[in-house]
Amino acid sequence: MSTTHMNKMSRIIFYEDRNFQGRSYECSSDCDDMSSYLNRCHSCRVERGCFMVYDRTNFMGNQYFLRRGEYADYMSMMGMNDCIKSCRMIPMYRGSYRMRIYERENFGGQMSELMDDCDNVMDRYRMSNCMSCHVMDGHWLMYEQPHYRGRMMYMRPGEYRSFMNMGMGNMKFMSMKRIVDSCY
């Protein structure tokens, strides 16, 4: 895919200061360390597409989902402890969605398969925990609390054997939502 075509699909502009002030950096793909472009990052404007932003480098730490719009001040909006340090572009996807969630690490314990959003794992599948998953199709957001609340994690297709080893501590995921192309 040509760079020109990619720019038409997704674009985010980061600013060093709140309210779109200071130096800026434009991005249309993943960036694992913003410090090579900006000293800090306190606001951004998503012109096209959807992005996950992280408060640590290499897509670690707390993460936040941003769709098209203006984000003049992260701190007050999202309760971020720190400025944005890395970002990941979420590709446009129009296929089916399928994910298996497991009660224990390394795909152990009870397994349930999802093909649509689930607002409460406990109510729907009688699972008190979700510690690993296998995303077969689509891009998903997993949330710490039921009804899509609390801290979140972006999951793209792949096997995730242990959420603890991904720097999420003992965080449980209690609801999951598909990222649909409504943000394009």
- Pair 66, 17 in one domain: yes
For residues 45-68, one letter each, b for 16 or more C-beta atoms within 10 angstroms of the residue's C-beta and e for the rest, the string is bbeebbbbbbbeeebebbbbbbeb
Of 152, 142, 150, nearest in space to 178 by CA: 142
What number of other Cβ atoms are within 10 A of residue 3's Cβ?
A: 8
Question: How many structural domains compose the chain?
Answer: 2
Q: How confident is the model at residue 169 (pLDDT cuts 50, 70, 90)?
A: low
Its domain, for residue 154, covers: 98-183
pLDDT confidence of residue 107:
97
Same domain, 178 and 161: yes
pLDDT number for residue 180? 87
**Where residue 163 falls among pLDDT bands split at 50, 70, 90?**
confident
Evaluate if residue 3 carries a pLDDT over 50.
no
- Last residue of one domain, picked from the residues 59, 90, 121: 90
CATH code, 61? 2.60.20.10
**What is the mean predicted confidence (pLDDT) over 94-105?**
94
Residues 21 and 84 occupy one common structural domain:
yes
Looking at the structure, tell me whether residues 49 and 108 fall in a common domain.
no
* Pair of tokens at residue 11: 């674009």
Q: Are residues 83 and 107 in the same domain?
A: no
Q: Please write the tens of the pLDDT for every residue from 102-161.
A: 999 999 999 999 999 999 999 999 998 898 999 999 999 999 999 999 889 999 999 999
The pLDDT tens digits for 29-65 are 999 999 989 988 889 999 999 999 998 899 988 889 9
Of the three residues 40, 65, 90, the one that is the final residue of a domain is 90
Residue 79 pLDDT? 60
Question: Quick one: 104 and 175 in the same domain?
Answer: yes
**pLDDT given for residue 171 in this prediction:** 74
The pLDDT assigned to 6 comes to: 43
Residues 11 and 86 in one domain: yes
Cα 52 from Cα 62, distance rounded (Å)? 10
Q: Which of 38, 60, 90 is the last residue of a domain?
A: 90
Q: Give the pair of three-digit tokens for residue 84.
A: 């944005």
On the question of pLDDT at 77 being above 70, the answer is no
84 with 132, same domain?
A: no
Q: Are residues 80 and 103 in the same domain?
A: no
